[in-house]
Amino acid sequence: MQQVFFNDLGIMDYQTAWDLQENLLQYNLQKKAATPGILADTRHHLLFVEHPPVYTLGKSGKMEHVLISEETRLQKGIEFFKINRGGDITFHGPQQLVGYPILDLEKIYTDIGRYLRSLEEVIIKTLLEFGIKGERSPGETGVWLDASLPGKERKICAMGVRCSRWITMHGFALNVNTDLSYFDHIVPCGIAQKSVTSLEKELGYTVDLFSVKEAVKRNFSLVFGITLVNSPVVAG
């Protein structure tokens, strides 16, 4: 089994976490340049983090999906970033579990579609442990509830990734006890007329975030066939 270095960053601002991901990606790209392919001395990482309120717009996103004025956004203390992942606009905030896998897919499988389906499977298995049936929605990345029932579809986990020479970054955002009112100011993931939800909203009580993290770690290891190793040092 391949090892993936795990680190829970706690609460961290978006720019700092983005810079950290970029550093880890560049480290792996340098290793690939020295020794290409599966022999490269690259390192797999999985980072967990909670961000202060922030909207992020992917490279294929549209500014018209931002429904809040800059003045109001600043008054509410919400940051905004245009970033280099796929997808449109989403929200990150407290009590949302954000996961950033930095993986060398050449050592796993070179198939981005399969990688995204695997990330979805991790979340689907996690939700099932809490009695929630997560589903895929054809043509739409992420994990949904009641995906096949028009008018009842709601997204519980958004996903967007970047891949450079088969090194991944960015990842998933699972709404646990997230304040969903922040989504009222955007068109989440660019998908109009579909709502968002959280574990808390679906279950009717505040969910222990630690237990969600442990379930995601367990299912990530299972789906990807890897071993997670706790690592206080995440770079270099």
Is residue 64 a part of any domain in this protein?
A: no
Is residue 80 a part of any domain in this protein?
A: no
Is residue 190 a part of any domain in this protein?
A: no
Which two tokens mark 178?
């997230």
The answer to whether 28 and 68 are in contact (CB under 8 A) is: no
Is residue 70 a part of any domain in this protein?
A: no
CA angle at 137 for the pair 82 and 165, rounded to the nearest 5°: 50
Q: What is the CATH number of the domain that holds 120?
A: 3.30.930.10
Which two tokens mark 229?
């190793």
Q: How many residues does the chain have?
A: 236
pTM (two decimals): 0.94
The answer to whether 129 and 95 are in contact (CB under 8 A) is: no
Is residue 88 a part of any domain in this protein?
A: no
- Give the chain's domain count: 1
pLDDT digits (tens), the chain, 236 positions:
899 999 999 999 999 999 999 999 999 999 999 987 778 899 999 999 999 999 999 887 888 888 899 999 999 999 999 998 888 889 999 999 999 999 999 999 999 999 999 999 999 999 999 999 999 999 899 999 999 999 899 999 999 999 999 999 999 999 999 999 999 998 876 666 679 999 999 999 999 999 999 999 999 999 999 999 998 755 54
List residues with catalytic annotation: 189
What's the domain range around 157?
2-48+96-178+197-230
pLDDT digit string, tens, across residues 53-110? 999 998 878 888 888 999 999 999 999 999 988 888 899 999 999 999 999 999 999 9
